[in-house]
Structure 1
C-alpha cells in the first residue's frame, strides 16, 4: 500500500512541476475551462473573433494597442495568454511558449462595393471600385506569383505566412486590366492624382516584424507587402501597353470606434491595408448620426442602418458587406504564454524530476528494508540470515 501511495505521490509531484507550463493548445483550453475568469490578450476585436469559437465561454478578451505591451502583460502575469496572427518579436521567444491555434486566418484588401440591389449601402458613384478591384487583384497575384510575399516574410522574420490564395496567380488572363485612359471610378481618380489613399487601424506598433506604424515610414511585413503590391500596380498596363505610372501611398489611420467603414463609401479612402481579417464581422458603417436617414441604405425593414449615435448594422461577415480583393496572405494565428520558472529549460527540469524520483525511491527502499527487519525481529527470527 505504501508503495502505491508513493508512486502516486511521484506522479502528482511531476505534474506539479509542470503545472505552470501551458505550451499546447489543449492544455491552454483545459486551463481556461477550469479558470473561467482568465483573460486572453488580443490586438483587435477581429483577432478575437477569428478564434472565439475554440475558446471556452466566459473568457474575457483584453484589447491591447501595441504588441510589446501585449507581450509584457503575458510575462508579468496580467493575462494568461495572448494571440497574434503571426509571431511575437524574436527577442521574447526564449521567455514564451508559442503554439498554433490550429486556425488559418485569411487577410485581404477591402474596398466599398458598388451600389446595387444587393449592396444598397455601396458607393453611389458608377463603377467606383470595379476597375480598381481588377487592378488590385492583378497586382496581388503578381506579388504571389513572383514569391515576393515569401521573400518579405524572410526579410521581416520571425514572420510565418500560409499560402492560402483565392486567385490563380499563374493565369494572368483572368485579370483584364483596364487601359489607363479608359479607367473609371476610383481607379480613374488614383491614376489622375497619382495617389492611393489607404485606410488603416491605428497607428499601432505590432512589432517591427509585423508592422510598426508609429514610425514614418512604417516598417515591417505589412507595410512592405502593401508597397510591393503598389509597385506591381503602377507597372501594370491594359491592352494599350501604357503603364499606370508612379503612384504614392497616403495612409489614413484611425482609432475610431466603431470603425469608420464609411471612409471607403464616401471616397475618403480607396482601399484598406492588406492586413484586414476577412472573416471578422462587419457591424455597420460607423458614421455619426442623429436619425436613420443620416445612415447608409441597407437591406433592412427601415431601409437604412439603425442609428444609435453611430450607424450600425446587425453583424454580417465582411465578405457579404464589402468588396474583398484576392487574399493577400494567410497566417497561422498563434497563442503564446509565459514560460514557467519551474521549467526554464528541458534539461534542468528533467534532471530535477529524476533526482526527486531517485530520492523518493530510495526512501521507499529504505523503509521497506527497515520494515522487513522489524518484521523478523518481532517474530524472534534472526535479523540477518547466516551465510
Structure 2
C-alpha cells in the first residue's frame, strides 16, 4: 500500500483479515484445491490469537479504510489488462468468470473475513493494469495490490520496502531444486529365484508407500483414516502449525522429547513435531511449511530511516555473499531458511546512506562509534543456546554471534573499523522500551517478527529491517527399515525380515535357502537416536528455536 498515516486503518484491517485466513487454515484449503500449487506460510503477524489483531472500528475509520467503507468498494491492483487477463493455471485463471485457482480463491477467503467485519455489501474491484498501477497505489487512488505482488522487488530502482507499506505476509514461494531420480534395482546375488526377488520388492514398495516424507503425505494419511494422533511438546506448538494440518488430527501433549520419540516408535502417534532438528536415524523429517522470520527491530519514525537503510544494505550483502550458509554450516545442526524481503541479487540497488549526511540513529552510531543492540539476557547470566549461540563463551560462539561478526565486518567496512558493537543485556519489556525510545539502536536479529508488544502485533509498533532468516519447525514420522541384508545372506531371509516374521534365529544364520513360508524371523539391530541435520530445498530451520522463542516473546 501507500506509505503514511492515511493507510494505517486499512493496513490494520487487512492484517486482521490475513491473520484470520492463517488461523482458519484457508491457505492450506485453497492450495489443496488447486494442485500442484504449494504454499509456505511465512508469519510476520501472530496468528494463534486473532483477537489480538483486531479490525479497526468502522464508525471511527480514517483514510483509505474510510474511503472503502463509504464507497463499499475495495480497489485492488491486478496484473493484466481488461482485454488480456492472465491465465496462470492453478495459480490463478482470470480469463474465466468467476476466476479460479489459488490466488482468486484466497482472495475470496480474504473478502469473507473483510466482509464479516464491515458488511456483505463491500465489493472487490480489480483494477487491471500492467504499467502505471504502482503509482496509483502510491497515491491512494487504488487501495492496495493483489497479495501476489513480490515483496522483495524494486520500484524506481530502489527497494519497495522503502517506498511501500506491507501487510502481514500472506505466504511465500519456496523455489525447488530438482535432479534425476535414480531407479531402484532389486537384485538377489545368491539365488535366481525371481519370485522371491519380486516379493521382496513388493514388500519394500509397500513400506515406501507407508513412509511419510512431506506434509502433504501426512495430511493424506490423516484424512484416509487410521491413527490420527500427533505429538507435541506444548499446546502452543500445535497451534502454531494447526492451520497446515488436517482437521482430523488429534494433538497429544508430551512433557519430554524422549517420551515423544518413543510414542512415534511404538506407533501410538502417526507423527510429531518439535522445534529444532529431530533424530533422523529413526525418523523421516519434513517441513511444516510454516516459517517464523527474524529481523532487526528498531523504533518507528524518521529517526530510524537512515539506520534501517544501513541495516538493509548489510543484510542484502550477507545474503548475496552466502554468509547465512557459512554461519549455519559452521554451527551444526543449526539450519536457516533465507526469507527475502529485500532483493539480494543486486546489492548495488541497496546502497548505504552516506556517512556525511546521516541522520537520526545512524548519526548517533557514527558520532558515538557505538552500535547499541538489545540482547536477551543479563550481564550476570548470559544465555547459552548451544549451536544457536553461546554467549557465556569467550569469544562467543554459535550461529547468531557468527552472523553478527559477518554483519559488523560489512558495517565497519562502510562506516569505520572503529565502530564498536555494544550488547545491552535486558530481559522483559524494559529493553523493548529502550529500543522504542531510541536509547538502544536496535535489537539483535534473533528477536521474533510475529510476536506481540502490549498485546498487539509488533508490526504495528516497530520498524523492521529486511528479514535476516527464518526458523522452520519440522514434523517427523517413523522411518521404515529398508536394509534387510543383516537378516541373512539370501533373499528368503531378507523377505522374512521385511514381512515382519516373529520367530528368532539363534546362532549363525544358515547360508542355504529356506522355504518362503518357513516361520523364521530375525533379531534385527536396535535403532539409535543419533541426531543428524535435515537438508531440503532451502536450509531448514533449527536447533533450539523453541528455547529462543520462549525467551523472546
Give yes or no for TM over 0.5: yes
Per-residue deviation, 1:355? 5.8
Matches within 5 A, 1:310-349: 312-313=455-456, 316=457, 318-336=458-476, 339=478, 346-347=483-484
1:150-207 Cα shifts (integer Å, max 9, x gaps)? 2222222334434432222343444443333543322233333333333345665544
Partner in structure 1 of residue 215 of structure 2 = 25
Alpha-carbon contact 1:41-1:81 (below 8 Å) kept? no
Which secondary structure state, in structure 1, belongs to the residue aligned with residue 340 of structure 2? coil
Instruction: Please report the RMSD computed on the Cα atoms of aligned residues, expressed in angstroms.
Output: 4.6
Partner in structure 2 of residue 304 of structure 1 = none
Q: Distance in 2 between matches of 1:193 and 1:351?
A: 74
Partner in structure 2 of residue 108 of structure 1 = 295
Matches within 5 A, 1:61-100: 71-72=257-258, 74-75=260-261, 77=263, 81-84=272-275, 87=277, 92-100=279-287
Corresponding residue pairs, total: 287
Partner in structure 1 of residue 453 of structure 2 = 284
Q: Distance in 2 between matches of 1:219 and 1:277?
A: 21
Q: Distance in 2 between matches of 1:164 and 1:28?
A: 25
From 437, 447, 458, the equivalent of 1:266 is 437
Q: Distance in 2 between matches of 1:351 and 1:200?
A: 58
1:293-350 Cα shifts (integer Å, max 9, x gaps)? xxxxxxxxxxxxxxxxxxx33xx3x44442111121245432245x58xx56643696
Q: Does 1:248 align with 2:421?
A: yes
Q: Distance in 2 between matches of 1:77 and 1:205?
A: 29
Structure 1 residues 362 and 174, CA gap change in structure 2 (3 angstroms): closer
Partner in structure 1 of residue 314 of structure 2 = 139
Structure 1 residues 187 and 206, CA gap change in structure 2 (3 angstroms): same
**Structure 1, unaligned stretches of length 5 or more?**
1-12, 65-69, 115-126, 238-242, 286-311, 365-387
Q: Does 1:184 align with 2:359?
A: yes
Partner in structure 1 of residue 232 of structure 2 = 40
Structure 1 residues 356 and 215, CA gap change in structure 2 (3 angstroms): same
Which secondary structure state, in structure 1, belongs to the residue aligned with residue 407 of structure 2? helix
* TM-score, scaled relative to structure 2: 0.42
Q: Does 1:354 align with 2:541?
A: no
Query: If you compute each CA radius of gyration, which structure gives the higher value, 1 or 2?
Result: 1
Partner in structure 2 of residue 155 of structure 1 = 330
Matches within 5 A, 1:180-259: 180-201=355-376, 205-208=384-387, 210-213=388-391, 215=393, 217-237=395-415, 243=416, 245-254=418-427, 256=428
Q: Distance in 1 between matches of 2:426 and 2:472?
A: 25
Per-residue deviation, 1:27? 6.3
Structure 1 residues 361 and 228, CA gap change in structure 2 (3 angstroms): same
Per-residue deviation, 1:100? 1.4
Per-residue deviation, 1:216? 5.0
Alpha-carbon contact 2:315-2:468 (below 8 Å) kept? yes
* TM-score, scaled relative to structure 1: 0.57
Alpha-carbon contact 2:338-2:468 (below 8 Å) kept? no
**Structure 2, unaligned stretches of length 5 or more?**
1-202, 488-493, 503-513, 520-553
Alpha-carbon contact 1:235-1:245 (below 8 Å) kept? no
Alpha-carbon contact 2:383-2:391 (below 8 Å) kept? yes
Which secondary structure state, in structure 2, belongs to the residue aligned with residue 235 of structure 1? helix
Per-residue deviation, 1:139? 0.9
